[in-house]
Structures are given as C-alpha cells and as structure tokens.
C-alpha cells in the first residue's frame, strides 16, 4: 500500500511539473506584440469625398509573426485636432492573436467647411407668444448633412415663458461627427405687442437673416433686402428715374405686385470688420411716410 502511494505521488508530481512546464512554454510562445503601422507621408490632403480605400494609401502594417498586414488596416476614427489645423486620422489593424496596432497622422480636407447655420426669420418674439428660438434655424454640414436636430441653445431656455421686454444674448451650438463645432452668438429680441405696432409699424423682409463670408470679402447689405411691408408690399427700386416714371416696364420689376419705394429710403448701420473673423450685425431701418412709424431688421454676418 505504501509502495502504491509513493508511485501515485511520483506520478502526480511528474504531471504537475509537466503542466507547469507547458504553461511556461505557452506563455513564452504566446504572441503579445502588436503590429506596427507606418506611413509614407505624415500628412495628407484630400477631398471630403475621398473613400476609405484612398485614405489608406501609403499606409503599411507589419507584424513580427503574421508579416505584412497592410491590406487589413482600417480607419478607426477621424477627429478635429485641438488648437491645430486639420484632423487627426487614426488607423488600426489586428494580428491573428488579436493584438491591435494603432497609428495617427494629420488629415487636411481641401474642401471642408465647418457646420453652417441658416436663418429664415429674425429672432424677434412678442411677450404673448411662445418662445421658439429654433423655429427658423437650421444647420447644414458638408460631412453629416442636416444637423438641425442637434442644435443646442447656450444661455437661454428654448421654451422660456413670461419673458420681459428686452434683448437676450445666447449662443447656438452644434457639433458634427468629426468633433468640429460651430458656435453662433445671437440676440433674441422680446417686444411688447400693441395695436399700433402691429398696424402701423413697417416690416423689412430680408431674403436671409444670416450670411457667411470669407475674410476680406465684403458683402452688399442691400442685396439682402427683399421688400418692405408698409400697409402693403413695397418693392425696392434702385433707379430714381424709373420710380418717377410710375410705369415700370423693366424685366426686373414687371412681374412684381405692389407699390415701389426707392432703395435709399432704407438705411442701415453695420459693425462688420471684414478683415477680422467674427460675428457681426447689419441693422436696417425704414420709416413709413404715411404713418411715421419705423421698422427694423437685423442681418447677422459671420466672417470666416
């Protein structure tokens, strides 16, 4: 019986030693080294229409056990670089053991632009109506398309109620899938409604209430005035002689109903610095000859 016990212990010891040795060998042979990714160029410039296959051009990947893995490389992410131009594009690849290698380089889009806001009406509300700041505001992005549902209002509640008369400053903000954000400072105007205001104050209608321009490129403020409503629609005429003639037969006016006013009867003030990026305003005003009331409108100008 003692002999059997000794044999059993010896067998157990041999098995244990063999198992430990096996585990040591397996650990030594286990592949824990990630593949290495390298680039022919550390910076690339492409169009936003470029597909992933072209984004991978000049990207190589090698693994110490699996060899060339360049065909398995994929784009993991593209994100806006903080405090730097362009984007950071990160590539990744897996070897057969599941080890992942990563590397990044700078990506410049030759035709990229940050998200742009659009405004079809002025942010002007009476104290009696429900505040809906985003009703006439949309956002378009060259990468993601329509981002309107993702607009955030900073500094003012979207559905604020019982607001007092005054001007309230806030910001509209949105971010695209690349992590690039657009911020638009705006002013919300709250006014007290009255019979006189609604009946006698003229309205200046603009073709748009927000315009983007590049540094150094001036806009013509009057190009954005559509017409004036002063008891009735009043079209804009730039030529005083045509206005005096009463019958306007030119191609630019013959199909437009209503009366006519001279363009110079609408004045405007602006604080736009076309050589400095920023957000500015052009404020228009028109005084009715029949009622003496003055109407205003505001165009936001973003210099990029």
Q: Indicate if 208 and 182 belong to the same structural domain.
A: no
Do both 188 and 238 map to the same domain?
A: no
Give the count of domains, the chain.
3
Q: Is residue 202 part of a domain?
A: yes
Q: Considering the domain boundaries, does residue 20 fall inside one? A: no
Question: Are 218 and 143 members of one domain?
Answer: no
- Which helix (H) or strand (E) segment holds residue 107: the answer is strand 100-109
Q: Residue 250: its pLDDT value, please? A: 42
Question: Within this chain, do residues 181 and 204 fall inside the same structural domain, yes or no?
Answer: no
Q: Are residues 252 and 172 in the same domain?
A: no
Helical ranges in the chain per DSSP H: 2-29, 52-55, 195-200, 240-244
Mark which of 157, 192, 227 sits at the end of a domain: 192
Q: Is residue 302 in some structural domain?
A: yes
Domain annotation covers residue 12:
no
Domain shared by 78 and 52, yes or no: yes
Same domain, 211 and 279: yes
| 57 and 47 within one domain | yes
Phi and psi, residue 121, nearest 5°? -155, 160
268 and 208, same domain (yes or no): yes
Helix (H) or strand (E) holding 189: strand 181-191
Q: How many helices (H) and strands (E) does the chain have?
A: 4, 22
Largest CA distance in the chain: 132
Cα–Cα distance, 226 to 220 (Å, whole number): 13
Residue 64 lies in a domain: yes
For residues 142-177, one letter each, b for 16 or more C-beta atoms within 10 angstroms of the residue's C-beta and e for the rest, the string is ebeeebeeebebeebeeeeeeeeeeebebebbbbbe
| Residues 230 and 299 placed together within one structural domain of the fold | yes
Strand partners, 183: 173
Domain-ending residue, one of 192, 211, 244 = 192
Question: Do the domain assignments include residue 24?
Answer: no
Residue 211 near residue 299, CB atoms below 8 Å: yes
132 within a domain of the structure (yes/no)? yes
| Predicted local distance difference test score (pLDDT) of residue 83 | 79
Same domain, 251 and 233: yes
pLDDT at residue 240 in the model: 61
Domain boundary among 176, 192, 208: 192
Q: What is the pLDDT along the chain (304 residues), one digit of tens a residue?
A: 556 566 556 666 667 676 665 556 555 557 689 999 999 999 999 999 999 999 999 999 999 888 999 999 999 999 999 878 899 999 999 999 999 999 999 999 999 999 999 999 999 999 888 888 999 999 999 999 999 999 999 988 766 667 889 999 999 999 999 999 999 999 999 999 988 888 899 999 999 999 999 999 999 999 999 999 998 888 888 766 555 654 444 444 444 556 888 899 999 999 999 999 999 999 999 999 989 999 999 999 999 9
Give the integer Cα–Cα distance in Å for 189 and 295.
Answer: 14
For residue 281, what are the domain limits? 194-304
Do 86 and 74 touch, CB atoms closer than 8 A?
no
pTM for the model: 0.79
* 57 and 163 together in one domain: no
Query: Which CATH number goes with the domain that contains 172?
Result: 2.60.40.10
11 inside domain: no
Kindly list the distances between the CA atom of residue 58 and the CA atoms of 49, 62, 71, 108, 121, in Å, as whole numbers in the listed order.
Answer: 18, 13, 11, 15, 48
């Amino acid at each position: 019986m003692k002999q059997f016990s000794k044999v059993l212990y010896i067998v157990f010891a041999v098995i244990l030693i063999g198992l430990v040795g096996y585990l040591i060998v397996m650990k030594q042979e286990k592949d824990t080294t990630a593949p290495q990714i390298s680039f022919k160029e550390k910076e690339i410039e492409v169009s936003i229409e470029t597909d992933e296959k072209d984004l991978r051009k000049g990207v190589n990947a090698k693994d110490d056990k699996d060899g060339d893995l360049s065909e398995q490389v994929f784009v993991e992410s593209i994100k806006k670089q903080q405090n730097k131009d362009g984007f950071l594009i990160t590539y990744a690849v897996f070897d057969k053991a599941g080890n992942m290698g990563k590397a990044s380089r700078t990506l410049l889009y030759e035709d990229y632009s940050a998200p742009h806001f659009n405004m079809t009406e002025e942010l002007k509300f009476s104290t009696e109506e429900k505040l809906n700041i985003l009703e006439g505001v949309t956002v378009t992005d060259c990468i993601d398309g329509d981002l309107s549902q993702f607009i955030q209002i900073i500094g003012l509640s979207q559905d604020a109620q019982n607001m007092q008369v005054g001007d309230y400053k806030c910001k509209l903000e949105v971010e695209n899938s690349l992590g690039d954000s657009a911020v638009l400072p705006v002013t919300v105007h709250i006014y007290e409604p009255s019979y006189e205001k609604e009946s006698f104050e003229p309205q200046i209608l603009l073709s748009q209430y927000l315009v983007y321009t590049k540094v150094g490129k001036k806009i013509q403020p009057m190009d954005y005035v559509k017409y004036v409503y002063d008891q009735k629609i009043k079209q804009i005429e730039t030529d005083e002689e045509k206005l005096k003639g009463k019958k306007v037969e030119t191609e630019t006016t013959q199909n437009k109903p209503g009366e006519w006013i001279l363009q110079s009867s609408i004045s405007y003030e602006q604080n736009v610095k076309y050589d400095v990026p920023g957000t500015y305003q052009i404020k228009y005003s028109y005084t009715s000859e029949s009622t003496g009331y003055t109407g205003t409108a505001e165009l936001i100008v973003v210099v990029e």
